[in-house]
């Protein structure tokens, strides 16, 4: 007697990582160009024409660090999306300004928002931190092992800026934004990425002291070596070419035209860099997210703050191209399909 075995073929649906909610926090205090005119040798016209920045937010208050803003942005997301923090599997805080060395800002943030079942860590890639964090969060979701990954971009840049240095103090501000990544079975979410780095950038955008090469000392403090130093022209040149290159690459290798793209989501470092990136891929101004005039460069927070500010204009299925460039050098682009209607 022969026994016939019937095999039932099951088609597995690919899991993609989609953004399902966003949140933000911006400090109340606005440092305007007019106020900066009283602090350094500059003026509103010069700042606006070269950077596009009109004001930037500064976190005031004793004992308030990056975690304060990260917690506020996370709480905004949880409240808006009615998400139970105990369901969150993982918290990543993308930041260049952690609360303190060694102790994880992400771990503290997770505990304070009630994400008691999450594991957490910080991710640092300068202004590309959030972009790299998107890639990291997506991999955890795509593995099928984790269902809710909270990614926060937060920086208190005012803590590392010399407000007598007009080359840097006009650019940076404080802020935080958060996104929740969840599994998607409809092909929405993160589609492709191209992330790069080059250690040649180490000399052009950095903080000299406070690390293992040059620990803090009376001399490093006196020499102002704990503040950001930037060689503006060199950084500008690298940022313009690399952000534009990777954005164009995203379109080319995914067979996308400018008509297929609803939004460019570029790091908010300089309006001229943003415009150069948009021009390379042929996008009109109304397809380019921009809030640099309000917040300046908030480093790890620029991309999620853009999503929070433009959330109501985003539609399910919209094609978004994210692009960033940061110290190190670090840079890259991500292609993502938006997953919900606000």
Active site residues: 127, 267, 297
Q: Which residues fall within 8 angstroms of residue 113, CB to CB, at 6 or more apart?
A: 71, 74, 75, 78, 85, 91
Instruction: Please check whether residue 23 is in contact with residue 177, taking contact to mean a CB–CB distance below 8 angstroms.
Output: yes
Q: How many angstroms separate the Cα of 207 from the Cα of each of 87, 157, 305? A: 38, 12, 25
Sheet with 16-25: strands ordered across: 16-25, 174-184, 149-156, 90-94, 119-123
- CA torsion sign for 19, 25, 264, 237 is negative
**Residue-level length of the chain:** 342
Q: Residue for token digits 């950095």?
A: 206
Q: Residue for token digits 């109340």?
A: 28
DSSP 63: T
């Amino acid at each position: 007697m022969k026994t016939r075995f019937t095999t039932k073929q099951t088609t597995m649906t690919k899991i993609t990582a989609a953004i399902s909610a966003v949140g933000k926090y911006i400090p109340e205090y606005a440092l305007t160009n007019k106020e900066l005119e009283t602090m350094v040798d500059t003026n509103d016209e010069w700042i606006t024409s070269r950077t596009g920045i009109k004001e930037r937010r500064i976190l005031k208050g004793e004992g308030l660090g990056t975690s304060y803003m990260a917690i506020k942005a996370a709480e905004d997301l949880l409240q808006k999306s009615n998400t139970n923090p105990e369901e969150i599997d993982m918290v990543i805080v993308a930041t260049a300004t952690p609360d303190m060395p060694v102790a994880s800002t992400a771990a503290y943030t997770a505990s304070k928002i009630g994400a008691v079942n999450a594991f957490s860590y910080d991710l640092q890639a300068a202004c590309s931190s959030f972009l790299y964090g998107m890639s990291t969060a997506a991999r955890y979701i795509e593995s099928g092992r984790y269902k809710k990954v909270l990614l926060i971009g937060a920086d208190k840049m005012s803590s590392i800026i010399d407000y007598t240095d007009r080359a840097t103090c006009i650019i940076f501000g404080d802020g935080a934004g958060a996104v929740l990544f969840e599994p998607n079975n409809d092909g929405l979410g993160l589609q492709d990425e191209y992330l790069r780095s080059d250690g040649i950038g180490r000399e052009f955008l950095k903080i000299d002291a406070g690390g293992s090469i040059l620990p803090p000392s009376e001399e490093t403090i006196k020499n102002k070596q704990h503040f950001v130093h930037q060689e503006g022209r060199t950084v500008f040149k690298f940022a313009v070419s690399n952000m534009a290159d990777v954005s164009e690459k995203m379109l080319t290798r995914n067979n996308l035209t400018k008509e297929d793209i609803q939004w460019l989501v570029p790091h908010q470092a300089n309006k001229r860099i943003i415009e150069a990136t948009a021009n390379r891929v042929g996008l009109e101004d109304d397809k380019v997210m921009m809030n640099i005039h309000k917040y300046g460069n908030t480093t790890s927070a620029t991309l999620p703050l853009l999503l929070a500010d433009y959330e109501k204009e985003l539609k399910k299925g919209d094609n978004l191209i994210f692009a960033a460039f940061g110290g190190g050098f670090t840079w890259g682009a991500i292609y993502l399909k938006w997953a919900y209607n606000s």
